[in-house]
């Protein structure tokens, strides 16, 4: 594979990340497990593992966690696991991730007009409901 | 913003997607809600909404869903919501997502050696355990 | 069915609640969907819907929610949905829920000795880890 | 506490189970962590741990799991953890669990009329939507 130092958000295109995720799956012959339903289940499981790092943690403790390198590394790793599984699902669905995100942000802009929900989660929750 | 047609996986880098996600939050003045704990909760909620599209659906029905444009669009949208929230969390944590993904894939390679888990989820589950 | 006013925690046993849940499923001929995997998925989806009621809600707002009858009703209903699905799973697995709970509490007592974790979630998290 | 053999679904009333769950919390001085938002998070985390037992498992393997005593025990334990946390939330909210379940089943009956959804999850999903 390419040198790891080649991968930075400012210069990595999504296709390269998708390929890294696909290579991992190919090398393990796991494609047959990667149907959309089981991938959705796995994304939810990994999301819960990320959330578990904050279980019973009070808000002021959360801020302290951000200054603790070990905790930050664990958060980064669990978040990466969620994203890797999302890349797997994108690969299985054969969709363009960038287009999916751009289109959904446009849709969210229409659903949650800035002037209506500015600084106010309650308005957001009502519109969502 | 740039023309939407500029965004394709083959030429979009992560920084550009992160910026789109951040602009949406800035325009709504929602940064103060975006602490890591509440973002982790929201990622888990969106992951469950993605999973809900497959609730009670038998495997053979899942395959049919892939040929149904409406269902595929809903899956794409819910998956995009999960990823947008991941981008929000990456922005809050001020980490490099590409590096996080590359490093986690390397770690997963060491944890699940290809020759040991090839084509076999049970071995994977045991190692995960 | 029995009069609704017969059902109170102080005099209702689990078997009666299990039967109510089973009757609902039988009347809809849904038993064939109720395999353990799909039930686990549905429990996770309902748990996320319960959690969604607290999405982006700050701690001090959570306390205010407890004085709002409408919000309390929604929390109660979503919590009930989680528990009804747990009863469905208990019915599918044909296990005794009371025994399962009592045995797990005994196991948790051994895993989290009171004198070690008293008033301290961090110790709990470490032991859990 | 009472003898463990006293606890069976056919004779255990809910109040006794609630008391067992409360005693565990009291002995550890954990009441101050048990606010509704953090309990909802924990229910979702435990639900994901239950679901994880079925991660990547094909339907025909799920049936085999039911004949494997070790796997059945793990499922029972994770399901018990979800239910114990639900009991904790019921205790925090000071509501009557039996009434909550009975009332929600009645509401679900009105929402999903048997004659409309009989044997058909798609109708259910549409009504849910």
Q: Render pLDDT for C4-49 as a digit per residue (tens, 0 to 9).
A: 667 788 888 899 999 999 999 999 999 999 999 999 999 999 999 9
What is the structure's pLDDT at A1? Answer: 46
Segment C58-104, tens digit of pLDDT: 999 999 999 999 999 999 999 999 999 999 999 999 999 999 999 99
pLDDT confidence of residue D1: 46
**Residue-wise DSSP of D41-67:** HHHHHHHHHHHHTTTT--HHHHHHHTT
Q: In chain D, whose CA is at the least distance from the CA of C80?
A: D101
Partners of residue A41 in chain C, C-beta under 8 Å:
41
pLDDT for the residue D127: 74
**C-beta atoms of B45 and C55 within 8 A:** yes
Write down the pTM of the prediction: 0.94
Report, as an integer, the average pLDDT of D77-104: 97
Q: Is B81 on the interface with C (CB under 8 A)?
A: no
Interatomic CA distance for residues A77 and C96, integer angstroms: 39
Is residue D85 predicted with pLDDT exceeding 70?
A: yes
What's residue B61's pLDDT? 93
At residue D81's C-alpha, the angle toward residues D79 and D87, to 5°, is 105
For residue C65, give both structure tokens: 């929610």
Chain D residues within an 8 Å CB radius of C103? 4, 77, 80
* Both tokens assigned to D48: 């994901």
Which residues between 35 and 54 in chain A have a beta carbon less than 8 angstroms from any beta carbon of chain D? 38, 41-42, 44-45, 47-49, 51-52, 54
C partners (3+ CB pairs within 8 A) are A, B, D
CA dihedral A105, A108, A113, A114 (to 10 degrees): -50
Residue C120 has pLDDT above 60, yes or no: yes
Judge whether B70 is closer than 8 Å to chain D, CB to CB: no
pLDDT for res A16: 92
Q: Would you call A13 helix, strand, or coil by DSSP?
A: strand
> Dihedrals φ, ψ of D13, to 5°?
-90, 155
Who wins on pLDDT, B77 or D123?
B77
CA-based nearest distance A126→chain B, Å: 15
Nearest 5°: the CA angle C77, C83, C87 is 140
The string of pLDDT tens digits covering residues D33-72 is 999 999 999 999 999 999 999 999 999 999 999 999 999 9
- Among the partner residues D45, D54, D56, nearest to A48 by beta-carbon distance: D45
pLDDT of residue A121: 73
pLDDT in tens, chain A (129 residues): 456 666 788 888 899 999 999 999 999 999 999 999 999 999 999 999 999 999 999 999 999 999 999 999 999 999 999 999 999 999 999 999 999 999 999 999 999 999 888 887 766 777 776
Q: Locate the chain C residue with the closest alpha carbon to A59.
A: C59
Nearest CA in chain C to B41: C55
Distance CA C106, CA B119 (A): 39
**Binning pLDDT at 50, 70 and 90, where does residue D27 land?**
very high
Q: Give yes or no for D95 touching B (CB within 8 A).
A: no
Which positions of chain B have pLDDT values less than 70? 1-5, 122, 129
Residue A51: C-alpha distances to residues B34, C3, D40, D97 (Å): 14, 42, 12, 27
Instruction: Give pLDDT, residue C4.
Output: 61
Which residues are within 8 A (CB) of C50 and not within 5 positions of it... i.e. 6 or more apart?
C75, C78, C79, C81, C82, D40, D43, D44
Q: Is D56 touching B (CB cutoff 8 A)?
A: yes
Q: Quick one: pLDDT at residue D128?
A: 74
The two three-digit tokens of residue C36, written as one number = 């353990």
- Partner residue facing C125 (CB), from A55, A124, A125: A55
Task: Note whether B56 contacts D: Cβ–Cβ < 8 A.
Answer: yes
Which is nearest to B56 in space by CA: D120, D58, A40, D66?
D120
pLDDT, residue B113, reads 92
For B125, name the nearest residue in chain D, comparing CA atoms only.
D55
Predicted confidence (pLDDT) at residue C1 exceeds the cutoff of 50: no
Residue D10, both tokens: 């056919």
Q: Which chains touch B (3 or more CB pairs under 8 A)?
A: A, C, D
Give the separation between CA D32 and CA D25, rounded to whole angstroms. Answer: 10
Tokens for D56, please give them.
């990547």
Nearest to D62 among C32, C36, C117 (CB): C36
Gap between the Cα atoms of C33 and B41, Å rounded: 29
Cβ separation B93–A106 shorter than 8 A: no
| Contact residues, chain D, for B55 at CB < 8 Å | 121, 125
Say whether residue C127 is in contact with chain A using an 8 A CB cutoff. Answer: no
């Amino acid at each position: 594979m390419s040198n790891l130092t080649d991968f930075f958000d400012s210069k990595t295109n999504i296709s390269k990340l998708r390929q890294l995720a696909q290579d991992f799956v190919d090398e393990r012959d796991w494609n047959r497990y990667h149907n959309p339903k089981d991938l959705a289940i796995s994304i939810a499981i990994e999301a819960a593992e990320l959330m578990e790092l904050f279980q019973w943690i009070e808000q002021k403790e959360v801020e302290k966690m951000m200054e603790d390198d070990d905790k930050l590394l664990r958060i980064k790793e669990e978040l990466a696991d969620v994203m890797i599984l999302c890349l797997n699902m994108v690969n299985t669905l054969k969709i363009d991730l960038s287009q999916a995100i751009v289109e959904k942000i446009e849709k969210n802009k229409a659903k949650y007009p800035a002037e209506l929900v500015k600084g106010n989660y309650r308005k957001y929750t009502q519109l969502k409901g």
